[in-house]
A = this chain, B = another copy of it.
Amino acid sequence: MSVLVVGSVAYDTVHTASESRENALGGSATYFSIACRYFNEVSLVAVVGSDFKNDDRDLFNSQHIDVSGLESALGDTFRWGGEYELDSNRRKSLFTDLNVFADFSPNLLPNHQNTDYLFLANIDPILQLNVIKKMERRPKIIALDSMDFWINGSLDNLIETIQKVDILFLDETEIRLLSREYNLINAIKKIHSMGPHTIVAKKGEYGVTVFQNDDAFVVPAKILPKVTDPTGAGDAFAGGFMGALSAIEDISTTGLKHATLIGAVMGSFAVESFSVDRLKNLSQDEINSRAAEIIKLSNIKTPLQTKFRRF
């Protein structure tokens, strides 16, 4: 049961409050696939330009990520530049040069069309829908990420696509924007009724809340002594989540909790360096011990009974 991701491969220029990095390997499909590959086989569908570096292609190969779906096109690779404030939840896009990504129309190779776990990273919902249509059979799990840009500019297409999706990844602001509801409970109800049975509400440094039908649970984020570069945290989260879910093959609450925990682990590693420097070099021990730390952080059950003292 392998995983297929359709998204972007990019070169990012990132300025944080203390450091900068230019033209570093990034993009949603990059972060996703590297995080996912610790737990399962993963195939990547994306496009790069003729400037794409051999070193970066080698990186995917050395991680044993299937890049047979990574198209090369004439022109430059997608470039994004951004700046983070000291409060790393706040970022400003400095430039977005789509380049070869502007004409990207994902092609699925025959061996990708029957993948059981499909992740549609944050791209035009029309393209996301086309990918779903190109699958030979309905995947076991279709998960989707989107953003305010598509909610504001392409709402009808997005809603049509979301109808076909099992798991939706959005941050809280996007959930409110998509549902036109401020209260989170009402917002989630509305989005459930659009299609997805599971909604992963991302809250940055506050972790995630996962809503599955009428049930919910919270996975806190590890509190880090230093956040170097928040770029890619959400995609690394999704990669860990989908990798673990497809490896466990359990979409009950138990499986979802495990997947979310592993997602939180991978997201926390992603932000410890620029690009995928940290994410690409993890040991099983590092992953397991960070998972244990997050479980410890969230474990509040005690044997104590509440002592009441009424009159």
A interface with B by C-beta (< 8 Å): 37-41, 64, 86-87, 182-186, 203, 206-207, 209, 216-220, 223-227, 243-244, 247-248, 250, 254-255, 257-258, 260-262, 284, 287-288, 291, 294-304, 306-311
Decide: A302 and B257 in contact? CB cutoff 8 A. Answer: yes
Question: Once the chains bind, are A300 and B257 in contact (CB under 8 Å)?
Answer: yes
Chain B residues with Cβ below 8 Å from A307 are 39, 244, 247-248
Chain B residue contacts of A216, Cβ below 8 A: 223, 297
Chain B residues, Cβ within 8 Å of A288: 306
Q: Which partner residue on chain B sits nearest A258 by CB separation?
A: B304
Give A218's nearest chain B residue, CB to CB: B220
State the CA gap A287–B218 with chains docked (Å): 20
Cβ-defined partner of A186 (8 Å) among B209, B225, B298: B225
List residues of chain B with CB within 8 A of the CB of A310: 38, 64, 284
Whether the Cβ atoms of B304 and A284 lie closer than 8 Å is no
Partner of A306, one of B244, B301, B311: B244
**11 pairs, CB–CB < 8 Å, chain A vs chain B:** A37-B309, A186-B225, A217-B297, A217-B298, A250-B304, A257-B300, A258-B306, A261-B300, A262-B306, A287-B306, A291-B306
A294 CA / B216 CA spacing, docked (Å): 10
CB pair B300 A224 closer than 8 Å? no
Across the two chains, which residue of chain B brings its CB closest to A86?
B182
Instruction: Give A206 to B205 CA distance when docked, in angstroms.
Output: 10
The interface centre, meaning the residue of A182, A220, A254 with most chain B CB atoms within 10 A of its CB, is A220
Give complex CA distance A185, B186 in Å: 34
Q: Which of B186, B226, B248, B258 contacts A183 (CB 8 A)?
A: B226
Asked if B261 and A311 sit within 8 Å, CB to CB, the answer is no
Partner of A297, one of B41, B218, B284: B218
Query: Which B residues lie within 8 Å of A37 (CB)?
Result: 309
Partner of A304, one of B254, B299, B300: B254
Contact partners of A184 in chain B: CB under 8 A: 223
When distances are taken between beta carbons in the complex, the residues of chain B under 8 Å from A261 are 300
CB of A55, distance to nearest CB on chain B (Å): 19
Task: From the candidates B39, B64, B220, name the one contacting A308 in the complex (CB within 8 A).
Answer: B39
